[in-house]
Structures are given as C-alpha cells and as structure tokens.
Amino acid sequence: MRVLVTGFEPYWDYSINSSWVVAKKVATRNIVGVDIVIEQMPVSFSRVRGALKEAVEKHTPDIILMLGQSGGSDKVKLERVALNMMDSKRSDNDGYIPDETPINVGTPAALFTNIPIKTLCAAIEEECIPVKISNSCGLYVCNCLYYEALMLCRENPSLKALFVHLPFYEGQSTAKPNKPTMPLEDMVKAIQIIIEVNNDKSREI
C-alpha cells in the first residue's frame, strides 16, 4: 500500500507549519507493507489543486492523507467533509482573498471522505490521544485541497482520501501564546494509527 502524506508550507505569520513537521516525521516511520511518500503543498488557492494532481500522478498512491495546521485546536481533527467554496478574510501566499467563490462550477456542494473515520477516531482514542471528528474543514486552502482530493476519488473509486487538521505542537516557536499545543509524538502516532488501520486487511473498516 502506498500512502501519500501531504503537509503545508508556512503561511501568514507561521514560519513553521506543524503539518509539515508531522509529515516529515511520519515519513521516517517503518510500517510493514506500507510505502510512505510525502509532498509539501503550497498555501495557494490557485496552485494547490495542480500540486496535488502532480503528486498523485507521480506517486500513484492508494491513499491520500492530507495534513494541515489548525492553530488553536486542542485535538487531532478527522475532517468528514469538503465544501465547494473558497472564502477567507486573509490572503493566501499569492495575495489572493476569495469571496464565497466556488472551487468548481457544476460539481457537488459537498464531498464526504471515503475513509471510515469513526473507526479511525476510536483507534486513536484507544491510545489516549485527543481526537475528534470535525464537520467543517473551513473554507481556506485546506478545504480547497481536500475538495480536489475527493474529486480525484470520484474519478478513481479505488483511491481513498482523508484530511486531518493538527494543533500547534509543544514547543512550536510560531504557536500563538495561550493556545493549546500537543506533543509532536502524539500527532505522529495518530497519523501512524490511521495508516496502520487502513493497511490492516483483517480489520473491518
């Protein structure tokens, strides 16, 4: 099984993005029968979809596992849905600010993950890592990437995709003061569990 793990480049005043730090650590894990490849995604509405397509063509993964930083969150968030809309008060890394702009014209308003997230949530909870299912991936670049990944899954039903939002990690120099953090190791472990559960053919997921 090949897993493409993506993380995001820095954005706003976050010169370190926890999602990329976690992706790099996940890539060093040895999971029997699993080939893990990582790619960094741009925080750009206009470039992120092409970057994902290119990465998928290059690696031909079975699963796309996308990571993003959710500053202020105190849990790992398994995202259930991507919405066909871009909206933000702040610009992306290209200086673009969308205003309730559709990602695609003529495609569904919402797309759901094709990975059983309740099973994953329970498996991560078992390891006492704070986790929850989230029903909103926001309307910023993370959601745009997720929507594109789920569109690719519609074209190729054997492909699976999930977006996971991550808190700041403990000791992250760009974490906002008084905002929750999580040990880096817990976040890496959570992603490892997601990969292992998906790779465990004996497990009914």
Which stretches of the chain bind ligand PCA, using CB under 6 A? 8, 11, 17, 19, 43, 68-70, 138, 140-142
To which residue do tokens 């509405």 refer?
45
* C-alpha–C-alpha distance, residues 123 and 68, integer Å: 20
The catalytic site residues sit at 79, 142, 165
Whichever of 43 and 64 has its CB closer to ligand PCA, that residue is 43
Cβ 70 to ligand PCA shortest distance, Å: 6
Q: How far is the CB of 205 from ligand PCA (least distance, A)?
A: 26
Q: Among residues 110 and 122, whose Cβ is nearest to ligand PCA?
A: 110
| Nearest residue (CB) to ligand PCA, 123 versus 146 | 146
Q: How far is the CB of 156 from ligand PCA (least distance, A)?
A: 24
Alpha carbon distance 205, 199 (integer Å): 10
Q: Which is nearer to ligand PCA, 123 or 165 (CB)?
A: 165
- Least distance between ligand PCA and beta carbon 71 (Å): 8
Q: Which is nearer to ligand PCA, 24 or 62 (CB)?
A: 24
Give exposure, 94-121, as e/b (b: 16+ Cβ within 10 Å). Answer: eeeebeeeebeeeeeeebebebebeebb
| Residue owning tokens 């290209």 | 94
- Nearest-approach distance from CB 9 to ligand PCA, in angstroms: 8
Beta strands in 114-200 (DSSP E): 131-134, 160-166, 168-169, 181-182
